[in-house]
Chains A and B, each alone.
Chain A
Amino acid sequence: MTSMRRGGFTLIELLVVIAIIAVLIGLLVPAVQKVREAANRMQCTNNLKQLGLAAMNYESTNGHIPPSAIFDVTPNIAPPYPGIAHSWAPSLLPYIEQDALYKVYNMKYPWGSSPSIVPGTPDNQAVLKNQIKTFLCPSSPGGNNRTCSGTSIGLPYSGLAPTDYATCTSINSGSITFFGYPATATSTTLASSMQFQVRGPAAVVAAYGLTASEPNRIASILDGTTNTILICEDAGRPFEYIGRTLKSSTSRGDGAWGNHENDYGLDGCVSMNSQSGPGNFVINATNDNETYSFHTGGANLVFTDGHVAFAKESMSPTTYAALITARGAGMTPAETSPSTD
């Protein structure tokens, strides 16, 4: 019988070979994806490093750390707009080789300024439509095709380019005791290194529900620049994610790099699939005003001294809070030598 058999494969042999190939591909594909993700993460680290250095250069020139947002209601400053408002991003443009954009962006008018809203005013919105690579993490789905729309301080905007990086400016007032700080502390005492700059007559400022404030100097970072986060990842906007699930593809319009509301306060989330705070999950639970990235297991952060670190999702929430505050020294046990490890 064997002598009659011609060279060929039986069905079983074929199936075995196919199964082996399938297993090999199954092993190979995740490996390739991992390499791609590692490259993306490195690019993201590099972006944050650039932003950290840009902030340091800004500090050398101006004598203070860039404010997370600017709001100026000094009378007659930007008529007919109520005042000027900017995010942290435009002031860093000259330091990330975007001087050309900085020159056309008018710092004397609000970021929402556009001749289509008030004829004759500069078109800041046109500048903010430019995608800037340094503000985008390559791991974020949607890449360059994402645009942000909405309304802010009464000015409608659309088609603006997003940022995957933003600053976590403080700990929100409802979550202060959760992170172990005394109830007497406020979002102002627990502010981070980039803080708001609010200017104008006290009465006008108060009518907006604010108090006047100036940006930090290096000397006012009492916890040390190595222990204070400058900029975090809040990736994926304008899409809104809970855990890894897409909830909406438009709702986070505040993610435009020029929107003064693109920063956020820390609350944490009850679980990795929840948006309600406070909670023990401070990284990658949601990109709705929390630190969020598409990297597996954590997010990149740049500190006020310019070093970039990868913070794990499993990191202690109180340690994370300690890294956010610029002047929390001694307030909680975690404030002594906080570290991302």
Chain B
Amino acid sequence: MRFFFVMAFIPAFILCGCAGNDRPPVLKASGEVTVGGKPVDGALVVFHPQGKERERDVKPFAKTDDQGKFNLSTYAQDDGAPEGDYAITIVWNKPGGPEPKMSFTGEGGPKAGPDRLNGRFGTPSATPLKKTVKKGDANEFKFELK
């Protein structure tokens, strides 16, 4: 009978080797983008991690809905953002118009058109928008652009 107990432990030991994941935990984070008081539909909001160790990390990002609202995604849809300081870029591209007659990538669909914010908030190193994602905070970010 002792054999069986020993046998039962073998798979348990094998399974022990499969744990582990070095992703930092994410916190729920959401927000809203308005331009001149009006909600912005379909803008790409990207949170660029700040600091020497974090500059190549994954980036929380979102697309705003027709109310201008967004939930940040990092590792899965709407999961949130890791804690830390961020510089935020917002671009609001016009739809790219009809699909070109000749495509080189087979991706189809209209490509993004020009930015309706003229790239004013589109450069990570120069954007005036800075926010911090903190544990215990509501992590709701309002961007009222002009």
Contact = CB atoms under 8 A, between A and B. Distances in A.
B56 A333 contact: yes
Contacts of B126: 182
A20 B96 CA distance: 63
B106 A177 contact: no
Interface stretch (A115-123, A254-262, A291-299, A302-310): A254-262
A71 B101 CA distance: 12
B107 A69 contact: no
B76 A334 contact: no
- Most chain B CB within a 10 A radius of its CB, from A177, A180, A182: A177
A183 B105 contact: no
Question: A interface, by DSSP: helix, strand, loop or mixed?
Answer: loop
Contact of B46 (A69, A178, A270): A178
Interface residues of A, number: 48
Interface of A: 16, 19-20, 23, 68-69, 71, 85, 152-153, 169, 172-174, 177-178, 180, 182-184, 187, 196, 207-210, 254, 259-265, 270-271, 274, 278-280, 289, 316-319, 332-334
B39 interface: no
13 contacts: A68-B104, A173-B96, A177-B122, A182-B123, A187-B111, A209-B101, A261-B104, A263-B104, A263-B105, A280-B74, A316-B56, A332-B124, A334-B56
B123 A184 contact: yes
Contacts of A209: 100-102
Interface in B67-82: 73-77
Contacts of B55: 318, 333-334
B32 interface: no
Question: B interface, by DSSP: helix, strand, loop or mixed?
Answer: loop
B100 to A, nearest CB: 3
Given A180-B124, A280-B58, A270 B100 contact: no
B56 A318 contact: yes
A47 B122 CA distance: 40
Contact of B102 (A153, A172, A316): A153
A180 B122 CA distance: 9
A317 B59 contact: yes
A178 B59 contact: yes
Contact of A20 (B7, B57, B89): B7
B76 A173 contact: no
Nearest to A180: B124
A182 B119 CA distance: 8
Interface string B43-77: 01010100000011111010000000000011111
Given A207-B101, A271-B77, A279-B61, 17 more contacts: A20-B7, A23-B7, A23-B10, A153-B102, A173-B96, A177-B124, A180-B48, A182-B123, A182-B124, A183-B89, A210-B100, A262-B106, A264-B106, A265-B105, A270-B76, A280-B74, A334-B55
A182 B76 CA distance: 25
A24 B101 CA distance: 59
Interface string B5-28: 001001100000000000000000
A319 B115 contact: no
B91 interface: yes
B111 A271 contact: no
Contacts of B56: 316, 318-319, 333-334
B93 interface: yes
B58 A316 contact: yes
A85 B103 CA distance: 11
Contact of A289 (B96, B105, B125): B105
A238 to B, nearest CB: 11
A270 B124 contact: no
Contact of B106 (A172, A183, A259, A332): A259
Contact of B112 (A68, A173, A262): A173
Nearest to B48: A180
B89 A177 contact: yes
A270 B3 contact: no
A270 B101 contact: no
The 4 closest A-B pairs by CB, nearest first: A183-B122, A209-B100, A261-B106, A254-B106
Contacts of A316: 56-58
A19 B105 contact: no
Contact of B93 (A85, A173, A208, A274): A173
B24 to A, nearest CB: 13
Nearest to B98: A209
Contacts of B112: 172-174
Contacts of B106: 152, 254, 259, 261-262, 264, 289
